[in-house]
Amino acid sequence: MTLSTGASLITLSMLVNKLAGLYGILALFTGYHLSPFQLSMYIYSTFALILTVYLARHIRKQSPLQCLALAWFYVLDSIINSAYTAVFAATWFLVLAQHDAGTTDKKGPGASTMDQTSGFTDPQYNVSKVEVVASPQPPLAASGQDAVAAGVPASTAAGSGGNGALQTAILDSQNMNSIGIIIAMWTIRAYFCLIMLAFARMVIRQHIASTSKAGVDYTSASTDSALAENPFAASKPQGQGWRGKLGRILIAIGRSYWLGSDEDDSWMYGMGGKFRKSGVAGEEGGFMLNKIESGPTERERRRRSGTGPPVPAPGVVEGDKMTLQIPQATNI
């Protein structure tokens, strides 16, 4: 799978994730109550959905600025989502602990909404069981029978044992499975971030290679000999206006990653790296590396592998074994 395909699939999953924010906003019109913290998440998801839709179409076009912005936005979105998930998970465990401890006032971001939708009950009296004693009425009485409910007090008071309630809520088997799933999803999301950054890096390097007249030279194209020329420099077409300023800001974060050379530049054969153009000047030609690998030449490699030209026939080589003889014409 190519980086372009991977970036497209990752962006598609991000779009599906952000649709939940739109549904959360629509829930407000039905009278559903949301805490300010939950509302902020849904508003952010709606904004992220619009921005992702705009940037996603540039994956196929491989626009350098938009692809770079998409990669950094995906990293930023991953951090924000992780923060929201951590806060909501902590709040849920607090709600469980406070319910087990008998606390009626739930605290935490979104705790009131979680408490309302979780199905928990908050009894007024702390009892372990309830016994109902019914006394029948006379047969001709118009009213029904009388009943008296008696509660057996609980062995522990409400709110006691609250210190270990949080630990019990977290160490529950089902909650531990939830924590494991969250950690696994965070790990996958971190891997997706690396893919998006690698895709943006590939787009930028291909753009540098295709727009450079003399090819990319790390020693002359930049003030730093280890870095390539910035495609969003003020003198470049991509560096004009606010787009150029944004590009310079984004590429300044980890400049050596975007513009630095690799120890192994073999992946850039035909597309990027320390290039020089091949072919006739003025014509569209491919790119090749200035760096020449040490070792046997191509002719020597072919000779060793047995794919070289055939050995001259006996009698056509001079005594020095280097000069071919020209056969003399004979008259018949």
- Alpha-carbon distance of 95 to 240, in angstroms, equals 53
Unique residue bearing structure tokens 């005594």? 319
**Where are the domains positioned within the chain?**
123-164, 212-307
Cα distance between residue 72 and residue 295, in whole Å: 41
Whole-angstrom Cα distance, residue 254 to residue 314?
64
Q: What is the pLDDT of residue 291?
A: 47
Query: How far is 74 from 248, CA to CA, in rounded Å?
Result: 18
CA 262, 266, 271, 273 dihedral sign is positive
**Type of residue at 161:** G
What is the structure's pLDDT at 68? Answer: 93
Q: Is the pTM of this model over 0.75?
A: no
What does the pLDDT profile of the chain (332 residues) look like in tens digits?
889 999 999 999 999 988 887 887 887 888 777 778 888 888 999 999 999 999 999 999 888 899 999 999 999 999 999 998 888 888 777 777 665 555 555 455 544 554 554 445 455 555 556 666 667 666 655 566 666 666 556 555 444 444 455 566 566 666 678 888 889 999 999 999 999 999 999 999 888 888 765 444 444 445 566 677 888 888 887 778 888 889 889 888 888 888 877 655 544 444 444 444 444 444 444 444 444 444 556 667 677 777 766 666 666 555 555 555 555 655 55
Query: What residue type is 263 in one-letter code?
Result: E
Tokens of 240: 């004009």
User: What is the residue whose two structure tokens read 């007249």?
Assistant: 213
Integer Cα distance of 47 and 73 in angstroms: 12
Parallel, antiparallel or unpaired: strands 127-135 and 146-153: antiparallel
Beta bridge pairs of residue 134: 147
pLDDT on residue 28: 80
Q: Work out the end-to-end distance of the chain between its first and last CA atoms, rounded to an integer number of angstroms.
A: 67
Beta-carbon neighbour count of residue 320 at 10 Å?
6
pLDDT for 206 equals 87
**In this structure, are residues 286 and 279 in contact, taking their beta carbons and an 8 Å threshold?**
yes
Tokens linked to 212 = 């450079």
- Would you list the DSSP string of 82-137? HHHHHHHHHHHHHHHHHHHTT-SS--STTHHHHHHHTT----SS-EEEEEEEEEPP
Neighbours of 45 (CB within 10 A): 22
